[in-house]
Amino acid sequence: MTGGSAPRNDAPATPLVVLAAGRGSRYGGVKPLAPVGLAGEAVIDVLGSDAIAAGFSPLVLVIGPDTGPAVRYHVARRWPSDVDVRFAVQEAPRGTVDAVLAATDELEPGASFGVANADDLPGVDALALLARHLGGEDPAHAAVCFRLRDSLLGTAPVTRGLCEVGDDGLLRAVDERRHVTPMPDGRIEAHDGREPVELDPTQPVSVNLWGFRPPIRAILRAAMQGASGDAEVLLPDLVDGLLAGRVRAAPETAAPRAGTAPRVRVLFAPGRVIGVTHAEDVALVQAELARDVGRGERPAQLWATRPAGWPA
């Protein structure tokens, strides 16, 4: 499989940070290496190919000390040599904010960058939407959102960040709901002890596909410096705190006044996002990708395209 028949983004290439350091406790293995392709390609292979086709480069893979060697070995064997791939190690499982912070040493100091999960496949169109935003003049950060119903696969529970979007297209808040479960009658419920239990299937949700401008780096550092012990700090919580004015950019900086919080542009993605959370998801993702190939929406070979300027 591949990211598409032609590159979708003509802006200068932008880095993508790929979060691949998770321990995979619900899956029971290394989720980025789950074999979902027609020829057994791993999730991270499909994501990498899609990201390159969308115009992202370099790809910075954040790996952990336990599962990282397997990911690094796989990439060295399976990825084309002309893909600019770099590795950053997250030494302890302190959450996705710490994971992104670990990757910043591999990025140019003034670069904007995208962030994606290594076990999700949002598709080339969604990735290209993000790449175009980051290559454009809008100074806002970005959140790529899908409709809730288009982010679910199978019937096993997942976590989703429900997004409140203003009339101006800016993100207002992110509410992380856990145990989000499709019901047999078509309803979607969150069994996390909170209200409402039934969720709107058309509500936009975040699946950790973000675009960040350079000022985010000071915010990431401050968030981790303020965290206690081995506490995990998660990107949706950080973004929600920024929007609400609860998070400050640096330890010595006062919290922003009302109306001065960073702006986060919501990019509404076409199609759906599929991914591997539980072991039973592998067969479901395999079937979805096979259908995409059969419909002509996804070529059958990975790495078939490159952004303009890449060697053939």
pLDDT, tens digit, for every residue of 131-168? 999 999 999 999 999 999 999 998 989 999 999 999 99
Residue 272: inside a domain? yes
Domain containing 273 equals 14-151+165-174+205-294
Segment 45-66 shows an average pLDDT of 96
Domain-embedded: residue 288? yes
Number of Cβ atoms within 10 Å of the Cβ of 93: 15
230 domain-assigned: yes
Q: Is 306 a domain residue? A: no
Where residue 279 sits, what CATH number does that domain have? 3.90.550.10
The whole-model pTM stands at: 0.89
Count the neighbouring beta carbons within 10 Å of the beta carbon of residue 248.
18
**For residue 187, is it within any domain?**
no
- The answer to whether residue 309 sits within a structural domain is no
Q: Could you report the per-residue pLDDT of 163-217, keeping only the tens digit for each?
A: 999 999 999 999 999 999 999 999 999 999 999 999 999 999 999 999 999 999 9
**Separation of alpha carbons 14 and 99, rounded Å:** 18
> Which residues lie below 8 Å from residue 76, measured CB to CB, with a gap of 6+?
none
CA-CA distance, 244 to 257, in Å (whole number)?
Answer: 10
Does residue 302 sit within a domain?
no
Beta bridge mates, 212 = 113
Number of domains in the chain: 1
Residue 110 domain-assigned (yes or no): yes
